[in-house]
Structure 1
């Protein structure tokens, strides 16, 4: 290579014809070098696309952690404490609110299937589940028995798509003395059906006792009583 007037030229001495040297300017020489270096033989040990992507990802994470540790009080140790606090808050919220399945409810299949059964049949199914210690199913069938029994007594109007909360609210008007327990039973039904919770024997016995008490409960059908229940 030689420089003249600020221009560098690569001189390739090629014997051609009458042994006349041929000068190759800088740009063609650079293109020729790039073409030569682009051959696969020079890139056999280069990292593949995935490896390059992972390298950039780890570099980015490292830079992010370095920046965060510099900004957090106490440096890297403070960052670790901050992450643990955030994890603890998320865990506490998850435990308090339950799993997201509660919101994904289907109102039209809340209580009864395509083959309606009587209250007595739901009670029998509940007792069978309870004998097998299947408490979730026992609670569900007993709550269905309560609703079906109230419908059979004309205290509730049969209505497809009624939710447990709606049934408890409607039944609480003619039965205000049992309104609180009705809402508790509806909550238990929702917890085991949509909230991913597990019922136990005590939960089932509470719903069963409510069902038995409602059988002999006398409704208050006056407008004043209904307004007070609301």
Structure 2
């Protein structure tokens, strides 16, 4: 409670206070007078609304892709593979997390580059938003697979057998037996993939081309523009989005069933 109350919530409070400050006309120093000028700039300029919408679209796309890929993988790991292969598959899922973030991002840059493996077979979309979504979906996939695997592992095999004995087909069993158990785990995984995508800026710089996400605006405003108050203002958008998302998730009761 001390950690959450003082360090985490205190940091968020400091972030909000900083967003109310401005820089002087020459950008040399911070003026600690409270104003809503940063929020006015953020909400009135079309470029920031476009970047916000692009960031949310990317986060949703990454989460959906990871969810669709993780369901069959987690289902096979939990209900089809033998105990020995379960351990091996868990290690294989975890192995990409042991590699450097930059190594994986630059590996995808090579995949999407002109003359690269994907380009040689006519499948490379080039650098841009599509490449960013694919790269981030790969980077965060383990965070979706592991919660789903943990959720499905707790599903008793007797429920699947009972469903089959009562005449339910594969899709009926998936809809009425598996999905209710899988939903809380999918929500837990989506919190990781969605929030990590909202804050990412490195992969966007590597494979995103000219596209920017909110993380890039924060990075450029803080380091390049030397405008810490505006960077703090932009940083509040992912915070507010995640608070709204967690509130909506909590109302579904998914977090209580984890």
Which structure's CA Rg is the greater one? 1
- Structure (1 or 2) with the greater helix fraction: 2
TM-score, structure 1 as length reference = 0.29
TM-score, structure 2 as length reference = 0.26
Q: Of the two structures, which has the highest relative contact order with CA contacts closer than 8 Å and spacing of 6 or more?
A: 2
